[in-house]
């Protein structure tokens, strides 16, 4: 039988599943790894919708307009060609998902319905109830299951990626597989592949409580970074303006609540003050997330106007007929009711900003390949498209789009390979397994006074306080020092569970080490960027500085550890080296970003789409 190339996809959310499907269609066989059954991936949490300029509302919307909103919303830090291509592909992606059976909300004519989201003036967001991410994920999960039945896909659910395997120690080493561990049996095994795609989502758990799922540790990205992959724009962390405070997590209250007419207010002088509407008359409650979040911070912390003196504001839907709300926002209103025990159609919801999304991530080229040949990254784990700030309902789109690019690109990559992964020496994989097994054994034997979950909580508190909405260099420096202290203390962790089976304590302790390293990348990146842009805001340098910072931040771990990653104390470990890369702004000339006036009014310098396809 002729030899064939196999691919590995790590992560079974929207991006991973789309990559898998596209790779299968390109003739490849795929091994799909996921820490949870793929149907339980974090994509389920996306509520509001998916953007695409289908233009069925007579508003003159177009992919170019969507593209302009996207790069304007992202404060011009995006490389424009891939963002442009994504917006061009968007209507086709929505049609595809409709064909696959996603129960999108519809118009009286039976066409797709669209709602408004933040940062745009157009009805451009297709939605399925109020759990659009869940519905899109299920549609792709079903198609992957069909490929699984057809023998094209092998699933490894309940397996966690530990690191990539490279085919040499050289600077041009290619990724030729992964080492993974079974979360229950704790078995450590190497898997060969012609190329690997990481689709492992964001690092929300670094912030302790966030809107992210409990699986979003950022571990896979952090390990790959420590093995030599570039990490880009780590400092750009989106804080969603409206989340429901909780003891275990901060639950998202979708932007669609505002898209359907929800108003944000606090009591002032005995009357409701609709501060977003007053501060930003052109966009009102539908300003982009970074703008809304900062306004809420200002009202709550600077002006002391939080509801009942607490850090919360009202998000009010009670003026909209309950029937309309149930139909359009049913699932998210249920969430509020279930967790808070209050009916949001009658009483205003109490919300506060929460860490939500990482615009930064692994650096990728326009084929979604990282700087490590053969290692691809797709979805939230990659840095492309959104840059300084992501627009609502662009994430589901970018995940699917990344998969559409990566699947065929990986298939094409295998054509260039001169060797099959199966022909590489076994010693390569055996030594990788040995290195990772040794690390896990090291963790299992840890016997100090510190509790890993408490350390994680401390990290989260520091990061949330100092590396989110308002950033001061002094605080950032202190935070970096603190993280280094936490790394020192990590070595004094005591693992309370000596079990050889489903040992979540060992898994978390191992993850925490790399989370601490990634926290440093985020913090130092923020410290070095002395300007304000999108989600990154420094009161001491309040303006955007295109002359010095219209650049992508690139972090590299030096020297990278191959094939495993040694645990090292801050002084013994590698250095986080930072550099900057120019941004491709060839399609739309950067202009000032303002939401108190209409977009076009901020500058007349919109380049016409002469070169667009």
Partner 1 sequence: MQDSKRNERTVELHIRRQEKPGAEPRWEIFQLQWRPNLNVIAVLMDIRANPVTADGKATTPPAWDCACLEEVCGACTMIINGVPRQACTALIDKLEQPLRLEPMSKFPVLRDLMVDRSRMFEHLKTVKAWINMDGTHDIGPGPRYSQSLALERYKLSECMTCGCCLEACPQYGPHSKFIGPQAISQVRLFNSHPSGAMSAATRLEAVMGPGGITDCGDAQNCVKVCPKSIPLTESIGVVSQKTTLHAFKKLLWFGS
Site for partner 1 in 322-351 (CB under 8 A): 327, 331, 335, 338-339, 341
The three-state secondary structure class of 499 is coil
Rule CB under 8 A: which of 375-404 touch partner 1?
A: 404
Q: Which of 436, 442, 459 is nearest to 495 (CA)?
A: 442
Determine if 440 is a binding residue for partner 1 (CB under 8 A): no
User: Which residues have CB under 8 Å from 338's CB, separation 6+?
Assistant: none
Segment contacting partner 1 by CB under 8 A, of 261-269, 413-421, 447-455, 532-540: 447-455
Q: What is the rounded (10 degree) CA torsion for 184, 185, 186, 192?
A: -100
As beta bridge partners, residue 578 has 555
Work out how close the CB of 237 gets to partner 1 at its nearest, in angstroms, rounded to a whole number: 20
- Shorter beta-carbon distance to partner 1: residue 145 or 594: 145
Looking at the Cβ atoms of 131 and 468, the one nearer to partner 1 is 131
**138 touches partner 1 (CB under 8 A):** yes
95 binds partner 1 (CB under 8 A): yes
Q: Is 501 in the site for partner 1 (CB under 8 A)?
A: yes
Q: Which of 4, 27, 81, 146 binds partner 1 (CB under 8 A)?
A: 146
Which residue number, 142 or 545, has a Cβ lying nearer to partner 1? 142
Q: Which of 6, 116, 289, 510 is catalytic?
A: 289
Distance CA 250, CA 242 (A): 10
- Smallest distance from the beta carbon of 348 to partner 1, in angstroms? 18
Cα–Cα dist 125/304, whole Å: 35
* Segment interacting with partner 1 (CB under 8 A) among 207-215, 289-297, 436-444, 540-548: 207-215
Residue pair 227/179 in contact by the 8 Å Cβ criterion: no
Tell whether residue 368 is a contact of partner 1 (CB under 8 A). Answer: no
Tell me if 492 contacts partner 1 by CB under 8 A.
no
Min separation Cβ 213 and partner 1, Å: 4
Closest CB to partner 1 among residues 157, 581:
157
CA dihedral 496, 498, 501, 502 (to 10 degrees): 20
The DSSP line for 517-569 is HHHHHHHHHHHH--S-BTTB--TTS-S--HHHHSEEEEEEEESPPSSS-----
Q: Does 474 bind partner 1 (CB under 8 A)?
A: no
Hey, which bits of 167-210 come out as E strands? 175-182, 188-192, 195-198
Contact flag: residue 538 with partner 1 (CB under 8 A):
no
Pairing outcome for strands 263-268 and 271-273: antiparallel
Site size with partner 1, rule: CB under 8 A: 75
Ranges within 10-49 binding partner 1 (CB under 8 A) = 18, 21-22, 25, 36-37, 39-42, 44-45
In degrees, rounded to 5, the angle at the alpha carbon of residue 441 between the alpha carbons of residues 439 and 443 is 75
Q: Which two tokens stand for residue 12?
A: 């079974």
Task: Please tell me whether residue 184 binds partner 1 under the rule CB under 8 A.
Answer: yes
Q: Is 289 an annotated catalytic residue?
A: yes
When the beta carbons of 112 and 179 are compared against partner 1, the nearer one is 112
Indicate the DSSP class of residue 450.
B
- Pick the piece of the chain touching partner 1 (CB under 8 A) from 308-316, 495-503, 554-562, 570-578: 495-503
Which of residues 168, 324, 504, 579 is near partner 1 by CB under 8 A?
A: 504
φ, ψ at 599 (rounded to 5°): -55, -50
Which residues in the 107-136 window bind partner 1 by CB under 8 A? 107-113, 128-129, 131, 134-135
Instruction: Please list every residue from 242 through 281 that binds partner 1, using CB under 8 A.
Output: 246-249, 251-252
**Contact in structure between 43 and 137 (CB atoms under 8 Å):** yes
Q: How far is the CB of 485 from partner 1 (least distance, A)?
A: 19
Query: Tokens for 56?
Result: 């069925």
Active-site residue list: 289
């Amino acid at each position: 039988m002729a030899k064939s190339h196999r691919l590995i996809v790590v992560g079974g959310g929207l991006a991973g599943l789309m990559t898998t499907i596209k790779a299968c269609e390109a003739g490849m066989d795929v091994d799909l790894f996921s820490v949870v059954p793929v149907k339980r991936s974090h994509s389920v949490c996306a509520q509001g919708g998916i953007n695409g300029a289908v233009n069925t509302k007579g508003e003159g919307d177009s992919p170019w307009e969507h593209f302009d909103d996207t790069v304007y919303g992202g404060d011009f830090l995006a490389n424009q060609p891939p963002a442009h291509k994504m917006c061009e592909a968007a209507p086709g992606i929505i049609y595809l998902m409709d064909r696959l059976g996603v129960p999108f909300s519809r118009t009286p004519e039976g066409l797709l319905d669209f709602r408004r989201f933040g940062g745009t003036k157009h009805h451009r967001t297709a939605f399925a109830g109020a759990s659009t991410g869940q519905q899109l994920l299920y549609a792709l999960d079903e198609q992957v299951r069909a490929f699984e039945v057809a023998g094209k896909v092998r699933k490894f659910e309940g397996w966690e990626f530990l690191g990539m395997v490279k085919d040499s120690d050289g600077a041009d080493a290619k990724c030729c597989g992964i080492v993974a561990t079974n979360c229950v049996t704790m078995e450590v095994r190497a898997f060969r592949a012609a190329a690997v795609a990481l689709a492992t989502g964001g690092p929300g758990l670094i912030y302790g409580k966030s809107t992210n799922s409990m699986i979003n540790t950022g571990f896979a990205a952090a390990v790959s970074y420590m093995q030599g992959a570039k990490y880009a724009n780590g400092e750009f962390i989106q804080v969603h303006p409206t989340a429901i405070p909780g003891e275990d997590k901060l639950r998202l209250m979708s932007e669609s609540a505002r898209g359907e007419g929800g108003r944000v207010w606090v009591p002032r002088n005995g009357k409701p003050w609709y501060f977003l509407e007053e501060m930003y008359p052109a966009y009102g409650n539908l300003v982009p997330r970074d703008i809304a979040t900062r306004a809420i911070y200002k009202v709550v912390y600077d002006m002391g106007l939080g509801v009942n003196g607490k850090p919360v504001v009202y998000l009010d839907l009670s003026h909209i007929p309950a029937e309309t709300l149930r139909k359009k926002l049913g699932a998210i209103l249920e969430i509020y009711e279930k967790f808070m025990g209050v009916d949001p159609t009658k009483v205003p919801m109490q919300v506060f900003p929460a860490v939500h999304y990482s615009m930064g991530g692994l650096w990728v080229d326009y084929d979604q390949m990282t700087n490590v040949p053969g290692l691809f990254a797709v979805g939230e784990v990659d840095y492309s498209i959104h840059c300084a700030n992501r627009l609502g309902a662009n994430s589901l789109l970018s995940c699917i789009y990344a998969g559409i690019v990566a699947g065929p690109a990986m298939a094409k990559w295998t054509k260039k390979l001169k060797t099959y992964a199966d022909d590489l020496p076994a010693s390569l994989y055996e030594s990788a397994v040995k290195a990772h097994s040794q690390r896990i054994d090291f963790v299992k034997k840890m016997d100090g006074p510190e509790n890993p979950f408490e350390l994680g909580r401390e990290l989260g508190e520091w990061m949330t306080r100092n590396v989110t909405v308002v950033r001061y260099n002094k605080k950032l420096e202190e935070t970096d020092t603190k993280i280094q202290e936490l790394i020192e203390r990590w070595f004094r962790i005591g693992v309370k569970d000596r079990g050889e089976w489903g040992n979540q304590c060992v898994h978390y302790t191992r993850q925490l080490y790399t989370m601490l390293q990634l926290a440093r990348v985020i913090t130092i990146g923020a410290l070095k960027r002395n300007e304000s842009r999108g989600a990154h805001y420094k009161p001491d340098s309040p303006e955007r500085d295109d002359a010095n910072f219209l650049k992508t931040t690139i972090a590299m771990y030096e020297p990278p550890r191959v094939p495993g990653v040694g645990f090292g104390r801050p002084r013994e470990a590698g250095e986080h080296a930072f550099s900057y890369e120019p941004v491709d702004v060839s399609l739309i000339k950067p202009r000032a970003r303002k939401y108190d006036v209409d977009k076009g009014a901020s500058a007349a310098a919109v380049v016409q789409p002469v070169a667009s396809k």
